[in-house]
Structure 1
Amino acid sequence: MSLALPPSGSEQPRGTLSPAAQADRLLPALGVGGPPVAEPPALKQTITPGALLAALRRRWQTALGVALVLGAGFAAAVWVLRPDKYTSVALLQVSSAELKVIQEGSRSNDGGIYMRTQLALIKSRPVLQDAVSSAEVRSLRLVAAQSDPVEWLEKQLVVEQVPSTELVRVSMSSRGSGDDLRPIVHAVVRSYMSKSIEVEVDEKFKHLELLKTIALNYQIEIDKQRSSLKSAMTLNVGATSSDPKIVAYLQSNLMEQHSDAKRRERAIESQKQELQLKIDAARARLERPAPKEAGAPNDRVDPLLERELDLDPRIAAADKKVSDLRERIQEFELRAAPTTTARGMFQQPLAEAEKAAAAIRAERRKELVARNQKLVGENLKQLVADCEAERNALEQRLRDCQDYANGLNAQITNLGIDAIEVENKRNRIARAEQFLGMIWEQKERLTLEIQGDKTTKSIARKRVREVAPAEKGEILNKFGRHIEAAGGGVFGVLFGLLTISVLDHRRNRIHSPADVSKGLRLRVIGALPKLSGAQSASLARSLAESVDALRTTLLHLHSAPQGTVLMVASSGAGEGKTTLATALAASLARARCRTLIVDCDLRAPSLHRLFGVAQTPGVCEVLSRTARVEAVIRPTAAECLDVLAAGEMSEAAAAGLASPGAVQRLIEELRGRYDFIVIDSSPLMLVPDAMMVAGCVDGLLYSVRPGISRVAEVHAGYERLREHRMPFLGVVVNGVPQSHAYAPGYGRSIVPVATVVETGQPL
């Protein structure tokens, strides 16, 4: 509810101004009641570094305390939640030597590609799948806790090359405990070594086959050249042996035949070695122990064997019987709720049928496995027999070839071939066979390497070998946990400082007179220093002189003997309006002005406690017409200062407060008795009482308190006054630092330090 101001032509006591005229005289430039003004800058909140630093300076003690608590909390949380990091490491050596078709004893130029290939192979899915398939690794706590162990291991495993070396570092880290790390890293290295051996062996056999193909093609080409030479050297063999030409021809022909015999001898020897390799491989497979019984743990399921089991009539009949019993149980349960006895009647036959089906399947699996093993053994034995027969035939051919070569050699000796001519022929043949010999040498070297180790493991060890096996997980960085905890503490401190700064900035409170004058564009007509619990003489002097400066402005406006009514209001509670009203009334009294302070904060009165008088009777009793004005006014210890307490709030008093006439009559009656009447009102934004009184006063002072008053509420209170054309005089900032008060520390005090206000905090 709002009260309209009295019309400008109404009867006013002599020497006073109407409320509207008094407001226009004091602040003609405020534009009260005019068109709406632009939104003040203080209402437009923008978070900037400067604003956050300003908020931090204002709340540095609180911010520092919160920051230290958060820093300690974050550090403790990081210390507890981030235990020591354990790491298990294994070292491998991967040689960069390349396997060429013809080895030249030099390093290959693709070592980097080979190294990158091995790094990718270690973390490949087949290697990791093979590593986690063992029972030892599956039973570990780290692996058992993962839904997809292979994907988890692919993320956790670190494989890197030691710079400028052929060493590969395989490591894995975890927090809390390092007992599970060594078995995992060891399993990965073991699986990789097995895979790399298979790759290296395959590469060796591919090289061997390639050498065979090249040697065969080149031998065919040499045979063609020899045939062409023989055709060109064909002479009449009927000539006498004394003819030098015939002798030379016979010598050349015998030497060519001897060379061909030796070549066939080497070819037969090579074929014999290959057959011996096949025989050794087949016998090695026959000598292997029989595989474990099917169905045991860690057994790999053979799809073909399982398919054959599923097609077996006996197994199919047993499975159908189990399926029929299960369908009968389901039908029975659907028809009626079975009892324990009824359910047991079906469960026992079902269990017996399932047990019989499992027994049939197990028996049949054993039979199939035994059959397969027998077939494999028979095939291997047949292969060995065939290879041995072929080897015996090759041995016979080798003996025949050797006999033929020895016979040719004897004929050459009998012919008395000249040694120099023979050497020349041999040199020409050696040059023709030079390249072919290089190929045969490389082929025989690879054959001997494979034959030297039947398990083929030594081949792979030449390029990949384990330098240092995985050890138990250790803490590599002993100060890592401390550094992380310190980082968490620093983050907590920064977070605490930032949080307090942002919260203080978001509250958007008034902190200085500049926030009112520049931020809200309201005129500041006074500032009172902040009161503390123990008031010093300098603080009392600063307070008195600040209030006296405000009093001087008001005395300048008062030019008649009739009373001037001033109202002190605030937007909310605790913003110093009672302190301002009391200090202002005391200052006017010191100026020998008859002053009355009225407590119109009827819902939360406090002046009676400050002045040590009774609360009743007071304003409420006057408004409810149960007491007269002169009966409720009480003198104070200060000269020229009286007080009118609030009284006891009642329905009659509330009705009188809502009536403009009752409040107006009370104020007009008090005007004739005093020079100044200071009214301590209720907060504007909490209850409507202040607006009911404001329409009857000559001027209104707006009290704000730094750190308490919110910008939005102060502006809303001012807008409410402006909309109702209330006589707004200006803002008094109550509680600024002493350095910002009026004339701090200048000269000596000329006023008594005693004050009416004895509390240390604004009301």
Structure 2
Amino acid sequence: MRRSPEGDQQGNAALAQYSAPTYSIPGGAYSAAPSPVSLPSPVGNRNVPTFMGLLNALKRRWVLASFLGLLVAAAAAVALWIAAPQGKHQVKALLEITPENVGLMPGANQQNDSNTSNFKENQMVLIKTRTILTRVVQNEKLKDTQLVKTSDDPAKVIEDMLRLRWEAPDLMAVTMNGDRPDELKEVLDVLVQTFKAESSAKETERRRAQKDILVKLREKYQKDIDDIMRAGHLRGDMNAPQTPEMFNEKVKDVGDELRKARSAKREAEVKLAALDDQVKAANDEAASLQTKKFTDEQIEAALLRDKEPALVGFQAELEVAQAKLKARQGAYKDADNPRIVEVQDEIKDIIARRAALTSQRRSDVETKLRAERRDEIEKGQRLIQIERTTAQSNLTKYSQAVTELESRLEVMNRMGIEVIKQDREIKPKMEQKQKIEEQIEQLNLWLSSGGRIEIREKAVIMYNHNQRQKMLYSGMIGVAMFLVVLTLVAFLEWRTRRVDGVDQVVNEIGMRVIGTIPAFPSRQSIKTGEADANQNWRFILNESVNSTRTMLLHTAKTQSMQVIMVTSAMQGEGKTSLSSQLATSMATAGLRTLIVDCDLRNPSMHRLFDLPLAPGCSEILLSELDVSDAVQPTTVPNLWVIPAGQCSNRVISALAQGHQLESLFNRLRGQFDFIVVDSCPVLPVADTLLIGQHVDGVLISILQDISQLPKVLDASDRLSQLNIPLLGAVVNGIKTDIHAYGYNYVKQLPA
């Protein structure tokens, strides 16, 4: 292999910005699993743009969008300013329409007065009647106005200028628009005053007629009431109730007294029956007392009560013996113990002697007990007889009261029929008379008030100052049109579906991202920028390439890959730059690396490394050149290049056959550690699809803000259909803030 000194010198200058240190950064921000074919399913093209998508699209066209937006906004604002009318001055007065609730009788002649809604509608018509407008025109105050002098029909002109609207439930606004506000104010004042006076006169006349009718109705009802009062004979009795309510109250009182008397009578009867039962029970007990037998317990209780000495002694002995038995039972567990049996026999002897004494004294004690019980029964009978006499007296008294109250209630019920009949005739007339008096009183109040229409605000001039409003509307339409144009430009740009960032590649295409490459600064910024900033940018570039290289090498090692093709969907998406950067990074990492320029139709790798175009890959495909003669060294250690050579139709035909290309790669695998193939874009021509069938894996170069998502997706689909392993994508042109990396990490390390 040969190396040109001049080529080394020029290549060093060309690759100065790509040189990298001999260390690598493991992993990347968007690294994924190392499998080259296990890719997520693509989301596909979205038909509805997102806000961030439109914003990113607008950033790419903000100059054009701003220019068009300002142009359209200015045109719209000027057009609105010219088209908007200047407006006229306005004069406004307020009339208050009060509601009315007076009626002659329930259900008669009440609709026009109580239905406020109809009354309001009537006023809006009446104020424009020819009668009112003619009186306004004939007013002395308006005879010298221009409106009256210059108009053939001033009343018609006023009617056309007049506008009415309700600003509140009871407030009607009367307005007039024109160019002479002082004259309009005078006309409107005369109009509302004339309308109020006419309405008040009509209202007063109507109310006086209502009042006369109501007075006559009141006199008629009073006469009917007097006739009924004279015909009612019960009204002459001062003790009789005057109204059904009063009568019902007295009937209720008598009924309450009757219920109380009946309840007391029942209680007396129950008490008397109970006393009779007690007397019978006492007589029965006295009759059976002579033959009554007493139990041993009763005899013993009587003897103990009388403190019989012998029985008291037995009782004391029994208590002592029982205490002794309890003590011995506690001391001896055996119930048959002789000492326990001894006490038990003693207790039995005491009980036997007590029973003998009781039997001996039974006759005397029974005689005494019978005498005592006979005295108790006789005493109780005397007390029961006293209570029975009292109960009998109460029963007689309550029986008489019940009879008297029942008779009184019967009389009141017969009288109540006449009271109710008479009150039924007079009550409706009294109620109607009361209502009529209330209506007459209300009419008197309204007659003194002056009418239902009041002038709440005299005519006020509201001068037209719509310049500010026109400016506001013009500004608003200008801003709106500006935003519309920005949105339209952003949408049209979004429809191109350019790649906005790494997340979009992963989420919308479903493609694995191997790494990212920062955007290249412009030449002007490099010339004018500070040396430290430029050095930091180059360091970030190197680190990004090294990170991508690390991911690629890991994948290649896992999948036993050696020949990697770098391509793109369309031209100008950074594939050649990516190929040279990755190959340079691998070479600086100590790997024998070869770049094969298979972009035969538009080669550029030879210019990048300052090498001749031919001989190269084209001559190898035509079998005009041996592979070893085509490999050319570069200024970068461990890096060689095979240029594209002179392309022709014969070369493309040989490429389609594939035999020479397969032999080329098979021969190169044994001479180099890693081979980077720079190919054509996928979509314009079929060269990449032909080359891809002989490589181990493919990297797709995507340029942010340039590459289009549908085309990238189409390119990946074509590769997948031919079962060409797709390792993933590398996104170029990422906007990076070098200060975000931190000073300790962006500073260049010493050699």
**TM-score (norm: length of structure 2):** 0.45
More helix by share: 2
Q: Which protein is bigger by CA-based radius of gyration?
A: 2
